[in-house]
Every structure is written in structure tokens, then in C-alpha cells.
Structure 1
Amino acid sequence: MRLGVTMFTTDLAMPVVDLAKAAEERGFHSLYVPEHTHIPISRRTPHPMGLEELPEEYKRTLDPLVALSFAAAATERLVVGTGILLAAQRDPIVTAKAIATLDRLSGGRVVVGVGFGWNVEEIENHGVEYGRRRVVARANVLAMRKLWRDEVAGFEGFEPSWSWPKPISEPPVYIGGAAGPKLFAHVAEYADGWIPIGGKGVKAALPALREACDKAERPMAKVIPFGTLPTREKLDYYAELGIEESVANLPSGSADEILPLLDEYARLI
């Protein structure tokens, strides 16, 4: 069982370079960081977990690809990933080049966790109707994968083009979200795995995910429980299900808060 960590990287939290070095030194496999481009102050959209007050880190999140470039430069083995990248809110041509550049400079250590987003006004500020965010995210991810893969790539919205650098190896794409036929259809069509946030209900969802992958004539998607509070029992349970990686949640805090947690989690590796 490989164990990674995820944290909201902000201008107030433990610096991402220090976090990445500490994670690698303790034997963690991966570091994932989330994305919010901005948070409109209207707060029309409630938090998906029902929190009345939005945690401060949502307002202060670093750009994930810039943050991960520093994490990758400061480490040698640590896998760096987005968890998650808001694909509907990004230009796919620019984002594909940024990810390919990061993958090449890091020696092929990039994974791309994508999601559809929950904040209606944030999404709308990017010119995307909330109800179309899945359609736009799908198109953007498919476009990025063609740009990574093909010498000459074209897709709806841009003509056949050259785009280098190519990644050393095409970054795996994982989709985050709650289990369901719509999400699993996306995973089976254009992703490599599923990131269940919190990891609850994974066992019950596996047959439906397998069915979606079989229908698409693709191998069973990888499953990475994400943002969990790890225990030996929980990791053993995941391993029994055939899961090979889990990502532990870290609070967006100072080094004094984070380092003891890393030490605690590292004992589970």
C-alpha cells in the first residue's frame, strides 16, 4: 500500500517546498494539492460538506501547477499531483502545455486528478454554465490528452496543431467525485481511475465501476481513496479490496502542526 498526502497549499500554510521534502524524507509516495482559482464573496453556493463558514484556505489556495513545480524541483522521487484540478475552468491548450512541461522537468512524476467543481459562481465566472461543467471538463481533458499524445493534435475548438514538450509518459488522469453511473461513465471513457473523496463506500461502489469499465471495454480503473484519515485497519481494508494507494488528509497549517502528523502517518507506511 502506497501512502500519499494532500493539503490546501496557501500563503499562510507550511511552504510547499518544505512539505514536499518532509513527505519524501518520510517515505510518502505522493503529494496532491487542490485548486480554487478564486472564491466569490457572494457565497451563494453552500459548501458540499455542509460547513456554514468556508475555511480560510479556500480563499488563499495557491495555483496547483506552480506549487507542484516547486515541490517537484525540491524532490527526486515524490509523485506530484493535482487533487483536484478544475478542468472546466481552464484553457486546455495552456494547461496541457503546463502539465507536460512539469512532467518532463520532473522526470515523469506527474498525475492529474480532475474534478467538475461545486461552487456555482466560481464556475460561472469562467464563462461556463454550471449545468455544462461536466461536458466542458470532458472536452478539455480529451483535448489535453490528444495534445500530450499526438504529434499533430486537433480537437473541437482548435485546429490541428503542434504542441511540445510532450510528457515523458502520458500523465494518468483520475476523476474525483461521488460514486454514481454518471461519474463512472466519465472514468471509463476518458480517465484512468477514480478518486473517491474521503473513501467512504468504496467497496459497495466497486462492482458498478467495474461494470462501467467493462462496458467501455477498458481495464478496471484504479481507485485511490482521497483525503482520508489513515489507520492501519483502514489501509489493510483497502489493500484487501485491491487498492494500491491511499491519500491522507493534512490540515492547511504550519510546520508545527504538519510535521507531527507526517510522523504519525509515516508509521503506517
Structure 2
Amino acid sequence: MRIATTVFLTDETISPVRLAVELEQRGFDGLYLPQHTHIPVSRETPAPAGDPLPREYGRALDPLVALAQAAAVTERIGLGTGVLLIAQHDPIALAKQIATLDFVSGGRFTLGIGYGWNVEEAADHGVDWKTRRDLVRDRMALMRALWAEEPTGYRGEFGAVSASFAHPKPLRTPRSRGTDVPHLLGPRTLIGGAAGPKLFAHVAEYADGWMPVGGSGLKEAIPRLRRAWQEAGRPGEPQVVPYAVHPSAGKLAYFAELGLAEVVVGLPSAGETEILQALDAHAEFL
């Protein structure tokens, strides 16, 4: 089982460069970074893990910039977002950023995407909360038009792009399908979120798999995801990558029994000493 890590990197934590070098030297498989562009002080939305909201949410580094630093000092580890809030971005600019990061890292990027939980943050970006899932779907389709080998236009409900020259192209060929399917181009894509028919339908339609937080309830949820995958006519099986997991030997053995090949363990949002101690504690699982 591949063991990657995730952490809220901020202006007060270990640097992306220092962490990435340590992960590669120690044999971890990858680094996933979350995103919040900002946290409005007037926030009314309850935090997913309960209030008060941890300090690091309002201080998080931009994941794509930080991962570019990590890419420059490593050769092997995977680099990913967990998760990128697609609705809060201009899709044409974001398509360029994602393709560039995948290109300069040698195809090591995984695009973990999500729909968000902070209504006030999304509202500042002009996002209508009720339609954010459809907006993400539309923006993914627009970005994939730009990632196509030949100039390809796209017009959707929320945006459009004319047939354009847009390079570089993402390098990775996703494992579950070929690059000849325009609406499935780009780096490996995982959708984060709670189990449910709508989320699983979206995973089956335009992603490579699911990124559930924590990993509880997977024994019941994975068969439902597989049915949605098969009903959508997708070959093979969806990838399931438990995210922000507190690891134990028993938990990892359970994931292996479910047929999972990758897990992302959580690290504290902390300075170098505490982060390295956490990596030492996780070393037994490598």
C-alpha cells in the first residue's frame, strides 16, 4: 500500500521544500495539500470538524505554488491537492496552472477536487451555493477542452472557451481510461466528499476515483460506488484513496482487505520538529 501525507502548510509551519525532501528521503509516496483562499471573519458556516475553526485554515499556503516548490526538489513522490476548490477559480487560468505543474513535475500531479463547505468563502468568489456541484462539473469540462491535443472549444452552462492553442498539456495518462476521450483528459482526478448517490454519479462521470475523509463506512460505500461506475459504462474499478487518516496497523490492514492501494495520512500543521516526529511515528507503516 502506498502511503502519502497531507498537511495544512502555512506561513508558520515547516516549509514545502523541507517537508518534500524529508518525505522523499524517508520513502513516503506523496504530498497532498488542501486549499482555502481566505476565511471570512463573519463566517456563519459550521466547520466540518466542529468549531472553533483551527488557525491554519486562514493561513494556508496556495497549494499549487507550494507543490511547485516541492516538485523542484524531488523526483519521485506524487504531488496532489486535497482538495482544490474548483468553483473558486477562473477555469482557463486554472487549466494552465494545473497543466504546468503536472508538466514541470514530470506527470506526478493528482488533482483532488471538492465542492467546499464554507458558504461565505465561496460567496466572495461569486459562487451560488446551490449550483456549485454543477459549476465544478462544467469547469472541469472546460479545462479538459484546453487539455485536448487539438484546439477544442467548449460551451457549457457556466462558461465557454473557444478552440485555442493551450500548452503545456498534462503528462499523466489516467489509469482507468485513455486520453482519446475528451471529457476525461488531464491528470488523475479524485473527488472528495461524503458518500452519496450524487457524488458517486459525478465520480463515475468525470473522475478517476473518490477521496473520502477518514475512511469510515467504506465497506458499505465502496460497493455503491462500484455500481455507479459500472452503470456509467466505465472500465475497471474506481480508485478509492482514504484521506487525512490517522494510521494504525489494523486500519491499514482493513484498507488492504478492501482492495485499496493508497492512503493519505494526516500530519499536524506544525513546525519542523513536530512534523519530523510525526513522520518518525508513521515510519513503521512504510
Please indicate the TM-score interval, normalised by the length of the shorter structure. Answer: over 0.9
| TM-score with structure 1 setting the length | 0.98
Structure 1 distance, partners of 2:203, 2:95, is 19
Q: 1:105 corresponds to which residue?
A: 104
Structure 2 counterpart of 1:215 = 231
CA contact 1:151–1:163 (8 Å) conserved in 2: no
Structure 1 unaligned regions, length at least 5: none
Match of 1:6 in 2: 6
Query: Matched residues in 1 for 2:154 and 2:11: separation?
Result: 37
Say if 2:21 is the partner of 1:21. yes
1:54 aligns with 2:57: no
Q: Determine helix, strand or coil for the equivalent of 1:227.
A: coil
Aligned to 2:164: 161
1:189/1:216 contact within 8 Å kept = yes
Report the counterpart of residue 243 of structure 1 in structure 2: 260
**Greater RCO, 1 or 2 (C-alpha within 8 Å, sep 6+):** 1
Deviations 1:174-226 (A, max 9, x none): 00000000100010000001000111111110111011001100032100000
- Partner of 2:162, secondary structure, is strand
Q: Distance in 2 between matches of 1:82 and 1:88?
A: 14
- How far is the alpha carbon of 1:131 from its aligned partner? 0.7
CA shift, 1:229, in A, is: 0.5
* Partner residue in 1 for 2:90: 91
Indicate the SS of the match to 1:67.
helix
Identity %: 54
CA contact (8 A) 2:34 2:84 kept: yes
C-alpha separation between the residues in 2 aligned to 1:259 and 1:18? 10
Indicate which of 179, 185, 203 corresponds to 2:195.
179
Root-mean-square deviation (CA), in Å? 0.9
**Counterparts of 1:129 and 1:83 in 2: how far apart (Å)?**
22
Q: What CA distance in whole angstroms lies between the structure 1 residues aligned with 2:249 and 2:42?
A: 42
Q: TM-score w.r.t. structure 2 length?
A: 0.92
Whether contact under 8 Å (2:12, 2:270) holds in the other structure is: yes
- Quote how far apart the aligned CAs of 1:252 are: 0.5
Q: For residue 285 of structure 2, give the secondary structure of its aligned residue in structure 1.
A: coil
Kindly indicate whether the alpha-carbon contact (under 8 Å) linking 2:9 and 2:269 is maintained by their aligned counterparts in 1.
yes
What is the alpha-carbon distance in structure 1 between the residues aligned to residue 260 and residue 68 of structure 2?
Answer: 28
Task: Please give the residue correspondences for 1:101-140 in structure 2 after superposition, counting only pairs within 5 Å.
Answer: 101-140=100-139
Counterpart for residue 147 of structure 1 = 146
**What count of residue pairs does the alignment treat as equivalent?**
268
AA of the residue aligned to 1:56: R
**Cα distance in structure 2, aligned partners of 1:123 and 1:116:** 9
Corresponding residue for residue 43 of structure 2: 43
Q: Which residue of 1 aligns with 2:276?
A: 259
Following TM superposition, by how much is the alpha carbon of 1:2 offset from its aligned partner in structure 2, in angstroms?
0.3
**Preserved CA contact (<8 Å) 1:26 1:263:** no
**Partners of 2:142 and 2:161 within 8 A in 1:** no
| 2:105 alignment partner AA | S
Distance 2:30 2:90 in 1: 26
Deviation at 1:61, TM superposition (A): 0.7
Using the TM superposition, give the Cα deviation of residue 260 of structure 1 relative to its aligned residue in structure 2, in angstroms. 1.1
* Poorly superposed stretches of 4+, deviation over 2 Å: none
Deviation at 1:264, TM superposition (A): 1.4
Partner of 1:77: 76
Query: How far is the alpha carbon of 1:25 from its aligned partner?
Result: 0.8
The alpha carbon displacement at 1:110 in A equals 0.5
8 Å CA contact 1:197, 1:227 repeated in 2? yes
